[in-house]
């Protein structure tokens, strides 16, 4: 059953267009295979936040025994992964390293598990009315799906990564192998399969909760733009809780688009924090771009990025201009 379709973005760069097309291809195979199965829930393009962290899952499968997260990558040419798990790819006969999509989806999986565990009492009932059910003992798997015309060198690739890396047209076969989902009667009499399962009511509850947690990026952008001039010009006074630099009355704030400096993608990314401060990790090309940039008013490079909940603000230390960037 398809609970959520892919949200199309207005992309302009070739890399972003190719990435979106790959996600659509994967969504097509999932829809064709599982659209009529109420026990297999498909959520495409799921973005959520928990504990001040944000993640975007390209495709999420929920089935009676657990979850499968799928990362779509538009990777053409040759793909190599060494024994340390480091990825390289060829493009126009040039080799370059890329961030590991497997590591990326592992981080998404960890955050999703934390979110579900935090709300388990709202989603699942108690076993025999006594013990609260949870999600840790369920099956958790993740895959990376790449373009069909990629060439994968599996000979030198670690076996565990090779098992998690599939081409689009083989995805459904791989999912059926992972889920190993027989009919309800066979599951009932098969005493060898000790996996705890969700019943249909629990599956429906999980699907409803996940959809309620989705963040619509387009709606977020609209909310920022919809602020009145009076709201945008209102000065902010720093307190012990809010460290934001005051905004001068003659310099109204306006949302500015932060985009990937490598491929130009301006919507499909994840805000993150690292050794050198705040940055965005692009879901299209998997590369990073610092949030810190020159002040749009005075062009000073003496700026700082501050975070409050899910809002990231660029503050100029010279002219005191401040504006939201994410």
CA distances from 259 to 6, 272, 304 (A): 21, 14, 17
Nearest Cα neighbor of 306 from 292, 289, 288, 318 is 292
The single residue listed with the structure tokens 């400096």 is 261
List the alpha helices (DSSP H) in 54-100. none
145 and 167 Cβ atoms separated by less than 8 Å: yes
125 and 202 Cβ atoms separated by less than 8 Å: yes
**CA 46/CA 147 separation, integer angstroms:** 21
**CA 321/CA 301 separation, integer angstroms:** 12
Secondary structure of residue 274 in the 3-state scheme: strand
Residue 250: its pLDDT value, please?
37
Kindly give the parts of the chain with pLDDT less than 70.
128, 217-257, 274-276, 309
322 and 306 Cβ atoms separated by less than 8 Å: no
40 and 253 Cβ atoms separated by less than 8 Å: no
The structure tokens listed for 82 are: 């060494």
Quickly count helices (H) and strands (E) in the chain.
9, 18
**CA 210/CA 207 separation, integer angstroms:** 5
Q: What single DSSP character describes residue 245?
A: P
The structure tokens listed for 300 are: 């000073």
CA distances from 326 to 140, 271, 290 (A): 31, 8, 12
């Amino acid at each position: 059953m398809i609970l959520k379709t892919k949200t199309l973005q207005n992309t302009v760069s070739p890399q972003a267009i190719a990435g979106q097309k790959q996600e659509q291809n994967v969504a097509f195979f999932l829809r064709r295979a599982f659209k009529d199965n109420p026990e297999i829930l498909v959520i495409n393009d799921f973005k959520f936040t928990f504990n001040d962290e944000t993640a975007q899952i390209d495709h999420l499968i929920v089935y009676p025994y657990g979850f499968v997260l799928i990362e779509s990558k538009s990777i053409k040419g040759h793909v190599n992964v060494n024994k340390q798990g480091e990825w390289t790819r060829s493009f126009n006969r040039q080799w370059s390293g890329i961030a590991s999509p497997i590591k990326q989806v592992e981080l998404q999986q960890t955050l999703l598990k934390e979110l579900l565990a935090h709300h388990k009492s709202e989603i699942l009932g108690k076993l025999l009315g006594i013990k609260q059910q949870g999600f840790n003992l369920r099956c958790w798997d993740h895959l990376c799906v790449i373009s069909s015309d990629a060439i994968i060198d599996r000979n030198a690739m670690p076996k565990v990564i090779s098992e998690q890396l599939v081409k689009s047209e083989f995805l459904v076969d791989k999912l059926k192998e992972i889920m190993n989902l027989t009919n309800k009667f066979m599951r009932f009499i098969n005493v060898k399969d000790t996996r705890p399962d969700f019943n249909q009511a629990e599956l429906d509850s999980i699907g409803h909760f996940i959809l309620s947690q989705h963040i619509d990026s387009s709606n977020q952008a609209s909310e920022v733009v919809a602020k009145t001039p009076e709201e945008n010009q209102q000065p902010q006074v720093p307190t012990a809780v809010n460290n934001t630099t005051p905004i001068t009355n003659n310099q109204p704030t306006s949302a500015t688009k932060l985009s990937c400096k490598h491929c130009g993608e301006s919507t499909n990314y994840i805000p993150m924090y690292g050794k050198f401060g705040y940055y965005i990790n692009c879901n299209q090309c998997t590369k990073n771009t610092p949030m810190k940039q020159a002040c749009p008013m005075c062009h000073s490079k003496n700026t700082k990025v501050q975070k409050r909940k899910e809002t990231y603000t660029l503050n100029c230390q010279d002219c005191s201009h401040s504006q939201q960037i994410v």
